[in-house]
Chains A and B, each alone.
Chain A
Amino acid sequence: MGRYVIRRLLQFIPTVLGTMFLLHYMTSLAIQFSGNPVRALFGDRTPPPALLEAITERLGYGDPCLSQKGNWCIGLFGDRLQSVFFHFDFGINLRQREVTDLVADALPFTLKLLVIAILFEAVVGIAAGVLAGLRGGSFTDYLVKISTVFIISVPIFVLGVVVREFVGVKFGNVLRGQDWIPDVISTGMFSPGFKPDYPFASLIIPGMVLGAVSLATTARLTRTSIMENIRADYVRTAKAKGLTNKRVIGVHTLRNSLIPVITFLGVDIGAAMAGAVVTETIFNVPGIGRLVTMSARTGESSVVVGVVTMLVLVVLVANLLVDLLYAVLDPRIRYE
């Protein structure tokens, strides 16, 4: 087990370095081909060259390789690695703020959002899957199947905007017109986006939107898995032994059926981070996803490289944890 973990951790190194280099190269190419982002800060006012140069230098876009199209900027990459790994310095954005500060500000919001999303998709998804799976061909089964197809087929950016406009604005306004509904529901939970006054309540709906797409997959995965296991020999044995239905379903069937679901949920943390880029922008959640969107729009390479590298680490760690959890759930799996 220990050796396995160490081996996996060692594999992180080339993955992270590779990602960083790709990101570095892409952002450098973007600057080489679309111009110095510092110049865009001034817009129509042409800045005096001295000022432009000073600011360019300060913000870390002064390396001459950034004006040579196609240059790999290896020197710049070396500097970047050095400052990231030896000084934990991810650089600054165009507004001269440390990337580490930006991430520290944004992370709590994204974590809350992710927890809500994962909880929502796990609880509701598994519940729906179990209900559908236990009674294949029943009304519930069809309901779950059809509704999940609906959710899967709507892209998250459409779902997000539709929910914001109809649940947050239209339905929310109706709720806000009713005096008997507590504020936390009407102006908090059903707010059209994140609201600093209700830092948790206003994240519930964005979190649900973020979890919705994977919820459908979770439900379908659980359903199939339950259907398979319910016919397995050990379940029949358990029933024959005279165990209560509760125990047969809850312990024998569900536990075994959840293995693929847990794997999916673990991998989905990474996908949810990607989904957060869209959801956070739509619902104005000041988290990591919105940060990535904004910095990609303005071409802030240090932010993109820094934040995405951190995201890669999150995904790697999540995957490792899932693999370890596998062994816990399924006694047949052993890591040597």
Chain B
Amino acid sequence: MRGKFLKVAVVATATAMLATACGGGGSNDETAGKSGGTLRVYNAEPAFLTPSGGDDEPSLYVIRQLYRGLVKYNAQTSAVENDLAESVESTDQKLWTIKLKSGYTFDNGEPVNADAFIRSWNFAAYSPNAQNNGYFMKRIAGIKDVQSTDPDGDGPEKAPEPKAKELAGLKKVDDLTFTVELEAPFSGFPTTIGYPGFFPMAEACVADIAKCNETPIGNGPYKIDGNWQHNVAINLVRSDSWKGDAGKPDRIEYRIFADVDAGYAAFQGGELDVMYTVPPARYKEAKATYGDRMFELAGDSFTYVGFPLYMDEFKDKKVRQALSLAIDRQSIIDAVFDGRFAPASSFVAPSFEGARPDVCKYCQKDVEKAKQLLAEAGGWPAGKKLTLWANAGAGHDQWLQAVGDQIKAALNIDYELKVNLQFAEYLETADKKKFTGPFRLGWGPDYPFMETFLYPLYGTGAGSNNSGYSNAQFDELMKAGDSAASMQAAIPSYQQAEDILGEELPVIPMWWRKEAAIYSENVDQFVWNAVADADYGATSLKQN
């Protein structure tokens, strides 16, 4: 029988070898990592590869290499630099005139002219097109006329067709010039248009958006090689039609992972050159293993604990200050997050122009002062529990519990956690202002301008103002900043507005996420853009 077993084993191995040989036959050496010009990067499955649709991280990483917009951001300073725009100017911060550089084309030969931008922006804004980035067109005049709401809420009637098909605020002057009229003056407008939602789209792309999503027609330094291989890979190659600064790698291969741990295993196995994120549980290990090949930067992703100001308990700012003073942010970051965050003491990301540390005077732990402030406010209602809210399934309960424990230890306020709502329902609760206690939420900037951290979160009636904060003086200062003569001139007003927040504390600033990216030994120079994050086109490989 022994002989028989061997035979079976030999046959089985031979079959396996044969099978592997067949499978491997189709590949070439290009992906072995040594041919120099191919950058292999980690990515999750993008939602969309069209500028009007993609608003999530994995989509943006690809779109930013396929498409280019009017302006780009300086990698270090995040300052706005013209890219396809010759100039972006305005005298009153309301009517902006945009002149384009000539000679740029899409991959299909269509010119990148004023129409390309107007077409793209109109397409995104028109609500029946259901494009995620319609959100970003909200400042342009006429936005209300291209979006329509269902008259009976969720009822049987369908939303009527919007009044207009195009944004009234966009006007073509000549082939390379167009004007944008905003609903209200906004000095930071030039910083907003570097966001991929404002990138141009070809006529052929808008005509068949589904096809353009599978095989993008870009205008940037790279073009797609083949199609979007859903859930597997997206391969980009140099585009011949691009006239600007060429990208460094000849080819960028985005490998798509459903699970960041699987991506990390692939990185460890030498299959990836860059991972823009590290699985939280492996952070310490990655830092120890890759050392100087780990790039870290205190980012601009903000976590805060908001107060439901519509509840009586939180109306007195002294209560809010006391609660903030009871929290030792650094100890939570060290204990729960292995130091993957940086404590926040202000409301605007530290990397932003005009940001200052310690705007919040109540963001360092000081139990004595906290007790005193709470006593001045008349104390906490006896027997009432403080309900702390977070969404389920994202690991927030752990740190929120630490926050609760610290508050209890410092101020003797009993707390309970309410962490059972899924993200969707949690956000709906936020939209409806139904929280019954301090709630965790986050915020990421849409453009590198102080305003993005201020008005949307704290402006009266602003979209993401989930605390229901309203302060006339704050609104005034925001308006003054918006209509200031230039971006620099706007900063003092915004800083004063931020100072008000630092005193009134409508939310407790918690921390900024530290971005951590790792790259392989094949990478010569890794470039991280302060606004656009990992810049694959600018990242160079070691040539041998």
Binding site for B on A (CB under 8 A): 33-51, 53-55, 57-59, 62, 64, 67, 94-97, 102, 105-106, 123-124, 127, 131, 134-135, 161, 164-165, 168-169, 172-173, 176, 182-185, 187-189, 191-193, 195-204, 281-284, 286, 290-291, 293-294, 299
Contact = CB atoms under 8 A, between A and B. Distances in A.
Interface in B12-36: 12, 16, 19-24, 26-27, 29, 31-32
Interface stretch (B132-140, B316-324, B480-488, B524-532): B132-140
B173 interface: no
Contacts of A67: 154
A204 B269 contact: no
* Majority secondary structure of chain A interface residues (helix, strand, loop or mixed): helix
Given A197-B31, A200-B20, A134 B266 contact: no
Given A44-B441, A64-B154, A188-B23, A131 B425 contact: no
Given A48-B147, A51-B127, 17 more contacts: A34-B425, A36-B424, A39-B428, A41-B132, A42-B427, A44-B442, A45-B463, A46-B431, A53-B149, A57-B130, A57-B159, A176-B269, A195-B266, A195-B271, A196-B229, A200-B24, A291-B231
Interface string B27-53: 101011000000000000101100000
A191 B428 contact: no
Given A45-B463, A64-B156, A196 B232 contact: yes
In this complex, the member of A58, A59, A95, A291 whose beta carbon has the largest number of chain B beta carbons within 10 angstroms is A95
B47 A196 contact: no
Contact of A198 (B27, B154, B265, B431): B27
5 contacts: A48-B138, A96-B48, A131-B1, A173-B268, A204-B19
Interface in B161-188: none
- Top 4 A-B pairs, shortest CB-CB distance: A200-B23, A35-B425, A184-B24, A35-B424
B231 to A, nearest CB: 4
Nearest to A97: B230
A183 B32 contact: yes
A40 B426 CA distance: 9
A44 B444 contact: yes
B48 A95 contact: yes
Interface in B432-466: 441-444, 446, 456, 463-464, 466
A49 B149 contact: yes
Given A185-B20, A199-B23, A200-B20, A191 B271 contact: yes
B262 A48 contact: no
B20 A188 contact: yes
Contact of B231 (A38, A53, A105, A195): A105
Nearest to A126: B8
Contacts of A290: 231, 258
Contacts of B1: 131, 134-135
Contacts of A96: 48, 130, 210
Interface in B458-500: 463-464, 466
A173 B262 contact: no
B108 interface: no
B270 A176 contact: yes
A51 B147 contact: yes
Given A50-B148, A64-B155, A192-B265, A39 B431 contact: yes
Contacts of A38: 424
B409 interface: no
A184 B271 contact: no
B134 A51 contact: yes
A58 B210 CA distance: 14
Contacts of B430: 46
Contacts of A134: 1
A197 B29 CA distance: 10
A253 B271 CA distance: 48
B412 interface: no
B266 A193 contact: yes
Given A105-B231, A284-B263, A172 B269 contact: yes
Given A43-B427, A183-B32, A184-B21, A50 B265 contact: no
B5 A40 contact: no
B425 A58 contact: no
A173 B424 contact: no
A46 B259 contact: no
Nearest to B259: A281
B255 interface: yes
Contacts of B98: none
| B-side interface size class | 35 or more
B128 interface: yes
B158 interface: yes
Contacts of B431: 39, 46
A298 B448 CA distance: 30
A184 B266 contact: no
Interface in B381-440: 421-428, 430-431
B270 to A, nearest CB: 6
A295 to B, nearest CB: 11
Given A48-B147, A282-B259, A36 B22 contact: no
A183 B159 contact: no
Contact of B159 (A46, A47, A54): A54
Contacts of B70: none
B298 interface: no
B20 A201 contact: yes
B145 to A, nearest CB: 11
Contacts of A59: 130
Nearest to A286: B231
Interface string B119-146: 0000000011110101100100000000
A35 B426 contact: yes
Contact of B128 (A54, A183, A299): A54
Given A40-B423, A48-B147, A204-B19, A187 B464 contact: no
A105 B228 CA distance: 11
A183 B270 CA distance: 13
B150 interface: yes
A293 B258 contact: yes
A197 B424 contact: no
Interface in B223-240: 229-233
A191 B135 contact: no
B151 to A, nearest CB: 11
B257 interface: yes
B232 A46 contact: no
In this complex, the member of A54, A102, A135 whose beta carbon has the largest number of chain B beta carbons within 10 angstroms is A54
A284 B259 contact: yes
B421 A34 contact: yes
Contacts of B441: 44
Contact of A173 (B45, B158, B269): B269
B454 to A, nearest CB: 15
A199 B232 CA distance: 10
B269 A168 contact: yes
B256 interface: yes
A40 B424 CA distance: 4
Nearest to B31: A197
A55 B428 contact: no
Contact of A284 (B12, B154, B266, B421): B266
A175 B127 CA distance: 54
B135 A200 contact: no
Contacts of A189: 20
Nearest to B253: A196
A46 B259 CA distance: 27
A48 B255 CA distance: 34
Contacts of A57: 130, 150, 158-159
Nearest to B209: A96
B455 to A, nearest CB: 13
Given A44-B444, A199-B23, A51 B135 contact: yes
Contact of A35 (B26, B231, B265, B422): B422
A187 B32 contact: yes
Given A51-B134, A200-B19, A165 B265 contact: yes
